[in-house]
Amino acid sequence: MNDHQAQLLKLFTALLETQRTDQDSLNASGMSIIEDQCHFSIPNLFHFAQSFDDQFKTLSYSQFRSTLFKTPINEHLSTLNAQIVIIQNRHKVDLSTYGLVRINEKQES
């Protein structure tokens, strides 16, 4: 895993903690909290990432997006009882809305 991938995992971990505390910075990036879920588009996430860590400022948007797709985010988030889901599919990844959601620890079989 490269440094940018590791920072992405830290970003999503921080977002789980930020959801309840720092909505102003999320809103400033075009992200929102709806029913304890963090909703975002990939361009909004890119904007937020650049304010989260200067390391993301070294990436172009296309590099950020490529890194995002190559990083096992849901695998990491599952250890934190969370996952990324598609909230609204607009048939283009840059236009779709995604959500960082908490999953129930006791899932039914």
| Confidence grade of residue 19 (pLDDT, cut at 50, 70, 90) | low
- What own/partner pairs with CB < 8 Å and gap ≥ 24 does 78-83 have? 78/103, 80/13, 80/16, 81/105, 82/12, 82/16
Taking the model in full, what pTM does it have?
0.83
Strand partners, 84: 100
> What is the token pair recorded at 38?
């963090």
* Burial class (CB within 10 angstroms; exposed 0-12, middle 13-18, buried 19+) of 10: middle
Domain boundaries defined on the chain: 3-102
User: pLDDT tens for residues 83-108?
Assistant: 999 999 999 999 999 999 988 754 44
- C-alpha closest to that of 59 among 44, 41, 47, 75: 47
